Amino acid sequence: MTDLEQQVFTQVRAIIANEEQVIGRRGILIPLKKAILAEGDIRNVIDIISSDPALAAHMLMRSNSAQASGVINPKTRSLKEALVRLGQVNIYRYAFTFYLQERLDELPQPYKKLVQGYWKLTEDIATDAVDSLAEMEGIEVDADEVQTLALFSVFGQIIALTAFAYLNANAEQSFPLSVIKSLIDNQQQTLTIESFEALDLDQDLRQEFMIAHNLRQTRNSNSPGLILRRVLSMRGLLMNPL
């Protein structure tokens, strides 16, 4: 690692450690997480999500996307039905990715174009993962767990680029894009793990992510990470290639 790369690496990691710098105030995510952790009445969660019509519509869309592949039937028609079926963990993951995408749309160019490319890749991976699940017999894996996991497939790259954009926006002299590209290529695992920790995402997501990228093994044939691993392997995206 060059001196310049080390300097940028240190500063990017410091920004990642400050969740507000990376993802902003995150709309209703904080009260939503508190309601989920309290394990109270689902109506509290419904009320919080309903306060943002765009998020509510997104939840309905996500809850029905697996149905399009024939994994879930029948189609969910109400927000309450969708949230009850999704469960608390998937609700938070979907809400998190919704607000993350909003944050990415606010980035200046050329970072916006770069992260949008990563996001399109993420959506394509999620579609492939759910489609592959529909073709498997004897596998009892929740389609939404597969889909929410897949939406974090290149999480480290997205967060690192977001932090780099913030760094350059506040720097007297901009750092070249080639520096963050090199860091993403060579420090992807470190950046990803620190992103999961800084943004306080659930332990199951972190563990299945490690399984998906062949960084951890499991004997659980119903692991969402194993489903995703096949897709990532075919696309040449595994951190630890098979």
pLDDT at residue 28, rounded to an integer = 84
Q: How confident is the model over 149-205, as pLDDT tens digits? A: 999 999 999 999 999 999 999 888 899 999 999 999 999 999 999 999 999 899 999
* Separation of alpha carbons 50 and 56, rounded Å: 6
Q: Which has the closest alpha carbon to 149: 70, 230, 85, 84?
A: 230
Whether residue 74 is predicted with pLDDT greater than 80 in this model: the reply is no
Q: What is the CATH number of domain 3-234?
A: 1.10.3210.10
110 upstream amide cis, omega within 30 of 0: yes
Cα 6 to chain centroid distance, Å, stands at: 26
* Residue at token pair 């989920």: 36
pLDDT band, very low/low/confident/very high, at 137 (cuts 50, 70, 90): confident
pLDDT band, very low/low/confident/very high, at 120 (cuts 50, 70, 90): very high
At what angle are helices 111-134 and 88-105 packed, to 10 degrees? 150
Whether residue 69 is predicted with pLDDT greater than 80 in this model: the reply is no
Residue environment code for 100-120, b if the CB has 16+ CB neighbours within 10 A, otherwise e: bbebbeebeeebeebbeebbe
Report the Cα–Cα distance between both ends of the chain, in Å, rounded.
26
Secondary structure string (H, E, C) spanning 108-143: CCCHHHHHHHHHHHHHHHHHHHHHHHHCCCCCCCCH
pTM, full prediction: 0.90
pLDDT at residue 20, rounded to an integer = 76
